[in-house]
Amino acid sequence: MWRLPLVAVVATLASVSSSGSALPSPEQPLLAFTRGGDLWTVRDDGTGARLLLRRGYAPVWSPDGSRIAFVSQRSGNEEIWVAHADGSRPQRLTRSPGPDLSPAWSADGRQLAWSRDREIWTMRADGGGKRRVVGKAQAWHEHHSPTWHGRTIVYSSNRVSNFNAELFRVGVAGTGTKRLTFTKGSDAVLGDDGMPDFSPDGQRIVFSSNRDRNGEVYVMNADGSKQRRVTRKEGDDFSPRFSPDGRRIAFTALPGSVYLVNADGTGLRRLTAGTDPDWRP
C-alpha cells in the first residue's frame, strides 16, 4: 500500500529537450512540474514543455506568479528554495538536517508553510522568522503537506494512529486544531488522506485518498463536509492542485504522468510525463 509521505520519492523520468522559448505570458494557462529531477513548465494544452530549473522538485508558484518555491538537494539535504518565475536566482531558504518538504505560500506571498522533520513550520518568504506551528506530541507523529488560505493551514497527520493519515486544520498561530477527515485507516486497511490544496476562494479542498483501494483525487468543503471522489482510474493519483479559476485539477498519476481533470470529474486527460504539477496564477 502507498503511504502519503512517499510522494517525494518518484521514479526518475527520461528527460526531453527544452524548447528554449521564454515563459508564456501570465494569461496563458501554465503549469510547473517535475521531470527527471528538474523543474519544467508546460501549457495546459500539453505544448511548449520547457526546462525551467535544474535539480528541484515539488514546485509551487507564488500568488502573483513572480516566484516559484521548490525542494532541492543541491546543498546535500532536502531544503526549501525559491527562484524567480523564469528559474533565475535560486535562493536557499532553509538550513537544517532536514528533511524540509512541501512548501506552500500564504495568500499575500509574504510567507511560506512547509514540513520540517515531520512538523509544520512557517517562515517569511526571505527565509527569516521561522516558527513551528504543529509539533510532534509523540515521537511517531508525522505532519506533512500543508496548504494555506487566510489564517488557516490544512495538513496531513497520523496523530490519530501510526498507520492512519488524516487531514486536520489549524490556525497559523498553532491553535484551534480540528480533524477534517475520518477514514479509519490502519496498517491493514487503506485509509490515508493527504496532499491537500485549497481552492482559490478557500471554499473547497482537493486531496488524495486511498480509501477506495487506489490513490484517488477527492474534493470536499473546507470544513470537511461533502467529500466527493473525482477520479476513477487504475493506478494511484497524488498531489492534486486546483487551477487558478477553481474549475480544473492537475494531479500526478503514478508511475509518472501529469493529468488534468475538471473539478466535477469530467474531461480527464493526460498532459505530459512528470510529477508534482502546480498552476501558475
Q: Are 94 and 100 in contact (CB under 8 A)?
A: yes
Q: Are 77 and 116 in contact (CB under 8 A)?
A: no
CA–CA separation, 212 and 17 (whole Å)? 38
Give residue for cell 505544448.
47
**Other beta carbons within 10 Å of 185:** 22
Could you give all domains of the chain from N- to C-terminal order, each with its CATH number? Answer: 28-279 (2.120.10.30)
Taking the alpha carbons at both ends of the chain, their separation in whole angstroms is: 34
Per-residue pLDDT of the chain (281 residues; tens, 9 = 90+): 344 443 333 333 333 333 334 555 556 899 999 999 999 999 999 999 999 999 999 999 999 999 999 999 998 899 999 999 999 999 999 998 879 999 999 999 999 999 999 999 999 999 999 999 999 999 999 999 999 999 999 999 999 988 899 999 999 999 999 999 999 866 666 889 999 999 999 999 999 999 988 899 999 999 999 999 999 998 899 999 999 999 999 999 999 999 999 999 999 999 999 999 999 99
Q: Which three cell numbers stand for residue 202?
A: 478557500
Q: What is the pLDDT of residue 13?
A: 31
Q: Which three cell numbers stand for residue 233?
A: 482510474
Give the closest residue to 146 by CA, choosing from 103, 95, 192. 103
pTM (2 d.p.): 0.89
Q: What is the pLDDT of residue 267?
A: 97
Q: What is the pLDDT of residue 189?
A: 66
Q: What is the pLDDT of residue 206?
A: 98
CA–CA separation, 128 and 115 (whole Å)? 16
Residues 6+ apart with CB under 8 A from 27: none
Q: What are phi and psi of 34, to 5 degrees?
A: -105, 135
CA–CA separation, 141 and 124 (whole Å)? 25
CA–CA separation, 259 and 270 (whole Å)? 4
59 upstream amide cis, omega within 30 of 0: no
**Other beta carbons within 10 Å of 118:** 19
**Other beta carbons within 10 Å of 223:** 11
CA–CA separation, 52 and 120 (whole Å)? 28
Coil/strand/helix, residue 191 = coil
Name the amino acid, one letter, at 30. L
Name the amino acid, one letter, at 201. D
Instruction: Give the CA distances from residue 173 to residues 120, 242, 266, in Å, rounded to whole numbers and listed in that order.
Output: 11, 25, 38
Residues 6+ apart with CB under 8 A from 49: 16, 18, 19, 40, 41, 42, 272
